[in-house]
């Protein structure tokens, strides 16, 4: 069994397929995720999956990371794994081992507060600026502030009580206004930009998983729901709609996996941006289409909050704009690689 297959298999411990009882129980609560599950993710090496072994990580690539993120999306997992991996990347890069070790163990959750404006992947590091859209901020044990110093960025620790607002999927975003604390170290040039691209690609993989989960549930429904004495999946109109959705999922998988392969091969900044943005744009558009169609194809029951298929649509609505909206990524791709996505 290769590393990707092992990761997919191990994800079942946190995100068992077909069982969303844990997800429902955590919706609209604080902190919105299970600290014990976060520690389990640390014990399984997921938070440090991208770090080299000498830094306490697993030394795996983007191919393995997106496979894990896909399974997290399929299971609608609320634990902020992508945000934890981002923080681990920055802490390792600036040599902050004291803060890194408990994060990798799942004992802490320092969130990187980088975003200063809506719908951007730019991190200018402006001192005193409010930091926006921090997922699951109520569960953070602290925050990391990238701040501009001369021609580069440095990483600072920060503490504070974020303002929070609920999101469609039952989680929340936080807004942080906090003064920097201890200086943790300097960030290498281009490191934060590359780390944000990886976070965007992992979010694209989560959207792929969301689409797959909704589609699988819909296929089961088409096989079991009967009208006029036969399964509705035998109706040609519904078969055509299902095929169209399957094609969109296949194209999304190809785009996400191609981007991961490109980044693992050491793509330069412009090709990296193009590959990442193509994948995130396609994944967001496909997940929104698939989850909306899934709700419709379930009929009236699909529109009830008690039925699970709607949870996939809610998750897609949140993830679609996280680490850049589809329109932002289309513009980034066009700037780097042409006019088509």
Per-residue pLDDT of the chain (341 residues; tens, 9 = 90+): 588 888 898 888 888 877 899 999 999 999 999 999 999 999 999 999 999 999 999 999 999 999 999 999 999 999 999 999 999 999 999 999 999 999 999 999 999 999 999 999 999 999 999 999 999 999 999 999 999 998 899 999 999 999 999 999 999 999 999 999 999 999 999 999 999 999 999 999 999 999 999 999 999 999 998 788 888 777 888 899 999 999 999 999 999 999 999 999 999 999 999 999 999 999 999 999 999 999 999 999 999 999 999 999 999 999 999 999 999 999 999 998 754 44
d(CA 208, CA 8): 14
Measured distance CA(307)–CA(217) in Å, rounded: 11
3-state SS, the chain, equals: CCHHHHHHHHHHHCCCCCCCHHHHHHCCCCCCCCHHHHHHHHHCCCCCCCCCHHHCCCCCCHHHHHHHHHHHHHCCCCCCHHHHHHHHHHHHHCCCHHHHHHHHCCCCCEEECCCCCCCCCCCCCCCCCCEEEEECHHHCCEEEEEEEECCEEEEEEECCCCEEEECCCCCEEEEECCCEEEEEEEECCCHHHHHHHHHHHHHHHHHHHHHHHHHHHHHHHHHHCEECCEEHHHCHHHHHHHHHHHHHHHHHHHHHHHHHHHHHCCCCHHHHHHHHHHHHHHHHHHHHHHHHHHHHHCHHHHHCCCCCHHHHHHHHHHHCCCCCCHHHHHHHHHHHHCCCC
* Domains of the chain by start residue, with CATH: 3-189 (1.10.540.10), 192-337 (1.20.140.10)
> What pLDDT, on the 0 to 100 scale, is given for residue 199?
98
Burial of 63 (0-12, 13-18, 19+ CB in 10 A): middle
| Per-residue tokens: 53 | 């072994």
Q: pLDDT value at position 129?
A: 97
Tokens of 80: 């902020």
Query: Residue 62: its pLDDT value, please?
Result: 97
């Amino acid at each position: 069994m290769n590393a990707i297959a092992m990761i997919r298999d191990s994800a079942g411990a946190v995100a068992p397929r077909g069982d969303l009882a844990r997800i429902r129980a955590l919706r609209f609560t604080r902190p919105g995720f299970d600290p014990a599950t976060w520690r389990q993710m640390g014990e399984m090496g997921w938070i440090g999956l991208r770090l080299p072994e000498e830094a306490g990580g697993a030394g795996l690539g983007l191919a393995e990371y997106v496979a894990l993120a896909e399974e997290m999306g399929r299971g609608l997992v609320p634990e902020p794994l992508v945000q934890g991996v981002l923080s681990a990347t920055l802490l390792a890069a600036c040599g902050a081992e004291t803060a890194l070790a408990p994060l990798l163990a799942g004992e802490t959750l320092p969130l990187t507060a980088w975003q200063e404006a809506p719908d951007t992947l730019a991190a200018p590091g402006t001192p005193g600026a409010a930091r926006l859209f921090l997922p699951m901020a109520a569960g953070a044990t602290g925050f990391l502030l990238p701040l501009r110093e001369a021609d580069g960025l440095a990483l600072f620790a920060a503490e504070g009580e974020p303002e929070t607002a609920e999101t469609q999927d039952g989680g929340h975003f936080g807004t942080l206004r906090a003064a920097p604390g201890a200086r943790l170290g300097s960030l290498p040039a281009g490191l934060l930009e590359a780390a944000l691209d990886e976070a965007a690609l992992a979010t694209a993989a989560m959207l792929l998983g969301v689409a797959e989960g909704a589609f699988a549930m819909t296929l089961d429904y088409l096989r079991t729901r009967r009208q006029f004495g036969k399964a509705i999946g035998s109706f040609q109109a519904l078969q055509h709609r299902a095929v169209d959705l399957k094609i969109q999922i296949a194209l999304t998988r190809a785009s996400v996996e191609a981007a991961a392969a490109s980044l693992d091969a050491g793509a330069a900044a412009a090709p990296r941006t193009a590959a990442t943005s193509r994948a995130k744009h396609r994944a967001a558009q496909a997940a929104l289409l698939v989850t909306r169609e899934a709700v419709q194809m379930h009929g009236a029951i699909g529109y009830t909050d008690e039925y699970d298929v709607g949870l996939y649509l809610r998750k897609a609505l949140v993830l679609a704009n996280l680490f850049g909206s589809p329109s932002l990524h289309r513009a980034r791709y066009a700037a780097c690689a042409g006019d088509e996505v």
